[in-house]
Amino acid sequence: MPANQASAGHLLRLIRSGQATTRGELQHATGLSRSTIGHRLDQLFGAGWLRDTSSASSTGGRPSARLEFDASHGVVLAVDLETRHATVAVLSLDGAVLAQSSAPLLISDGPEAVLDTLARWFSPLLDRAGTEVSRVLGIGLSVPGPVDWSVGQIVQPPIMPGWDGFPVPARMRQAYARHVDPDRGDIPVLLDNDANLMAYAEQRLHYPDCSAFVLVKVSTGIGAGVVVDGEPYRGIDGGAGDIGHIRLHDAPDALCMCGSYGCLAAVASGGAIAAQLAAAGVPTASGSDVREHLAAGQPDAVRLAREAGRRVGGVLVTVVTLLNPGVLVLAGDLAGTPFLTGVRELLYQRAMPRTTAHLNVVTSQLGDLAALSGAGAMVVEHLYAPDRADIRLAALSGG
């Protein structure tokens, strides 16, 4: 292994992934000497990032100490921002929820007001978690719109007026410094599309061996997250998976929130079904209201959810034919039995048997925690990526 591929940060990656968890295994994997391995591990122990766990099996003599990432040395803040409410959580570095809170929050109020409100929620939440502010290592935001990952900006979001191109990370840092910790104006802030983060979390936690994975979220809008070989696939500028705006040939008069006509989201999203139910005399204002109707077995809601599933299933025929995923997860307000049944009907009816022979179509296991879990994991993976970890280690040691 080249020297620049065997820094302390790279050793940490080997340990976190389980590829090498003893000093001997690290020597074998990197070709480094025992003393060099020891020096670099001392850096990781000194930062509080590693711990020795129970002894590993050995072939004789004193057993080797097994090394493990120490997730207790910090926390991250995660935000799941929806169109009408938001959930914030304090997460441990291994993803455990230490404290969580949800409240109404209108995304249409604009980024300045929304980010300031979120920052004001953080301090009480940290108190509930019993966590000192100094232990917060980063903030992850899940948002219901396309995100250009390379620059950390939301790009032309159909349901987020005022957010296009807004400097979310910079303003979130400012709000955090103003309301939480005046000494942390440089706290890392990362954001991504909600479906991407939900897919990332579901794949990591429940389908780690699935190399091609798709999640479809159907709530106010419709979006998909794709994970290939363990990494989210975002496209060139964050537009991958925006299936809610695929045009349907038989719905030319359906006006979408994006301003176009005939989009899948205009006829099959939670928002579209809410409008249909309201027009039929069933009081319904949003996708979350549709969810409540489905839980109560309201007949019109059940019928419309199944029809929406068939609509979405028709589009997913193309998606699964193109990507050949092993798992397709349905999530969001509509992701119950009627919608799942509708998706399966069209998908298995129209896709070639070869395409679906090894496809598992299921609903989300993480449910409402999926976006929060994905946002937390996004921050942790950023902080402890080899190059970033080495920079942080150097800063901690004063180098």
Instruction: Give yes or no: residues 348 and 219 share one domain.
Output: yes
The 10s digit of each residue's pLDDT in 307-320 is 999 999 999 999 99
Q: Range of 379's domain? A: 74-195+371-396
- Please indicate, yes or no, if residue 201 is contained in any of the structural domains: no
How many helices (H) and strands (E) would you count in the chain?
A: 14, 14
Q: Are 80 and 164 part of one and the same domain? A: yes
**Burial of residue 54, with CB atoms counted within 10 A of its CB: 0-12 exposed, 13-18 middle, 19 or more buried:** exposed
Report how many domains make up the chain: 3
Distance from C-alpha of 27 to C-alpha of 38, rounded to nearest angstrom: 10
Specify the higher pLDDT residue, 194 or 58.
Answer: 194
pLDDT of residue 228: 97
Phi, psi dihedrals of residue 385, rounded to the nearest 5°? -60, 145
Look at residue 30 and tell me if it is in a domain.
yes
- Separation of CA 260 from chain center: 28
Q: What's residue 39's pLDDT? A: 94
* Overall average pLDDT of the 87-111 stretch: 96
213 and 352 together in one domain: yes
Tell me: the pLDDT tens digits for 283-316? 999 888 999 999 999 999 999 999 999 999 999 9
Whole-number Å distance between alpha carbons of 265 and 341: 18
**pTM of structure:** 0.93
Domain check: are 58 and 12 in the same one?
yes
* Per-residue b or e along 101-135, where b marks 16 or more CB atoms closer than 10 Å to that residue's CB: eeeebebeeebeebbbbbbebbeebbeebebeeee
Q: What is the mean pLDDT of residues 61-87?
A: 89
Residues 65 and 78 in one domain: no
Q: Is residue 26 part of a domain?
A: yes
Query: Under 8 Å CB-to-CB from 366, ≥6 apart: which residues?
Result: 198, 201, 202, 205, 206, 373
CA distances from 267 to 9, 11, 216, 251, 351 (A): 48, 50, 16, 8, 22
Within-domain flag for 126: yes
Contact 315, 323 (CB under 8 A): no
pLDDT of residue 158: 85
Do 244 and 272 have their domain in common? Answer: yes
pLDDT tens column, 129-185: 999 999 999 999 999 999 998 889 999 988 899 999 999 999 999 999 999 999 998
Interval 104-116 mean pLDDT:
96
- Residue 58: pLDDT above 50? no
- Backbone φ and ψ for 216, nearest 5 degrees, come out as -115, 120
Q: Is residue 57's pLDDT more than 60?
A: no
Partnered with residue 363 across adjacent β-strands are 330
**CATH code, domain with 89:** 3.30.420.40
Q: Is residue 96 domain-shared with residue 44, that is, in the same domain?
A: no
Of 186, 171, 204, 252, the residue nearest 17 (C-alpha)? 204
Q: Do 85 and 132 sit in the same domain of this protein? A: yes
Among 41, 72, 103, which residue terminates a domain?
72
The answer to whether position 200 is within a domain reads: no
In a domain, 125, yes or no: yes
